[in-house]
A = this chain, B = another copy of it.
Amino acid sequence: MTAPRVELGAGAEFDIIRRILVQADASGDAAGGAVVLGPGDDCAVLDGGLCISVDMSIEDVHFRRAWLSLEQIGYRAAAAALSDLAAMAAAPIGVLAAIGCPADTDDVLRIMDGIGAAARDAGAALLGGDLARSPGPVVIDIVVVGTADRPVLRSGARAGDDVWVTGRLGAAAAAVREWSTGRVPDDAAVLAFTRPVPRIAAARWLAGRGLTSALIDLSDGLAGDAGHIAAASGVQLVLDADQVPIHDAARAAAADDDDALRLALHGGEDYELCFTAAAATLDGALATAFTEQFGIELTRIGVVRTGSGVMLRGAGGDVTSTDGGYDHFRRKTP
């Protein structure tokens, strides 16, 4: 049996991954029944519900040492990786950390300090890792392992479902923009970028109540990540522009309302959740209970319908296609 695979959304990075997966398919699936879900979702899933994912962070691509301390760099790398467990509604077991770093012992320890803090905050143990000297950039690779009785995939969205998002978007992108232009971001933006909260408990709360037909975490930006749900589920997601919850820090950094929306749609690295729920299952009482529990909002931002891709419905009712999210093989450094 070949393990099911998941369709990906638009982007040059995902074009490469599609070509890789064609090669992989051609080679067959040697491990057979031990693999429940192969590449393409936020985690691979093994028999018994074990979820596993890997996330690479590279200096001057994912972070800059001028902007962040080494502890912050480690924390952020691990939190971003742990967010992939949230995207499956999986409970963390542990992390493995591979670090490539110029030969400075204290640097490695400071990075590991941040990784350890993020793992601890998420209830994950340090399982192991690898240490190598890097001649150039600091490279951090985090493996996350978790478990879910019923992992929530990207592929379960159905026409008629509602589209929801947790929290507010665009603050991390606002921080990057401010740093990039030589300004000092406000504290909320810095915090969003340096200490993202993997929404693990929130995802498990939602999934445990049967409210998530499809689920993804927002790493590449809402437009791009919603596109992955659309592609995996074979549906179209229509997002209401005026419903997208924009973070105050994004509004503060933005030139105008359109620009703030752009940060929220395309900025990426929010590590909030986007999910679909059968219509009317997530009512006001549940949304209020969620906010009381987790201190963040739940916002209905659109609907699922037949078709493909992600469309944006403006205040006037006009519907336009969206671009994708952050794409490593299209754009330059942050």
Residues of A within 8 A of B (CB): 3, 12-13, 15-17, 19-21, 23-24, 27-32, 34-35, 38-40, 43-44, 46, 48, 50, 52-62, 92-94, 96-100, 103, 105, 108-109, 112-113, 116, 119-120, 123-137, 139, 141, 143, 145, 147, 328-329, 333
Identical chains bound together, number: 2
Q: Among the listed B46, B109, B328, which residue makes an inter-chain contact with A132, where contact means beta carbons less than 8 Å apart? A: B328
Contacts of A3 in B (CB 8 A): 125
Residue pair B17, A131 in contact (C-beta under 8 Å): yes
Candidates B12, B19, B128; contact of A53 at CB < 8 Å: B128
A126 with B61, Cβ < 8 A, contacts A20-B108, A328-B131, A329-B105 known:
no
CB contacts (< 8 Å) of A56 on chain B: these are 98-100, 130, 132, 139, 141
If over half of A's interface residues share one DSSP class (helix, strand or loop), that class is named, otherwise mixed; here it is mixed
In chain B, what residue has the closest Cβ to A98? Answer: B56
When the two chains form their complex, are residues A52 and B54 in contact, meaning their CB atoms are under 8 A apart? Answer: no
* Closest Cβ neighbor of A57 among chain B residues: B132
What is the distance, in angstroms, from A128's C-beta to the closest C-beta of chain B? Answer: 4
Closest residue to A109 on the B side, CB-wise? B19
With known contacts A23-B116, A54-B96, A103-B329, A127–B44 Cβ distance under 8 A: yes
Find chain B residues with CB under 8 A from A16 CB.
105, 108-109, 131
Q: Among B17, B27, B126, B145, which residue has its beta carbon within 8 angstroms of that of A24?
A: B126
Are B133 and A136 in contact, with the CB atoms below 8 A? no
The docked-state distance in angstroms from the alpha carbon of A309 to that of B120 is 34
Residues of the B chain whose Cβ atoms lie less than 8 Å from the Cβ of A24: 116, 126
Find out whether the CB atom of B46 lies under 8 angstroms from the CB atom of A93. yes
* Contact present for A30 and B124 (CB under 8 Å): yes
A133 pairs with B329, CB closer than 8 A: yes
A141 contact set on B, CB distance < 8 A? 54, 56, 98, 130, 139, 141
A100 near B52: Cβ-Cβ < 8 Å: no
**Residues of chain B within 8 A of A130, CB atoms compared:** 54-56, 141
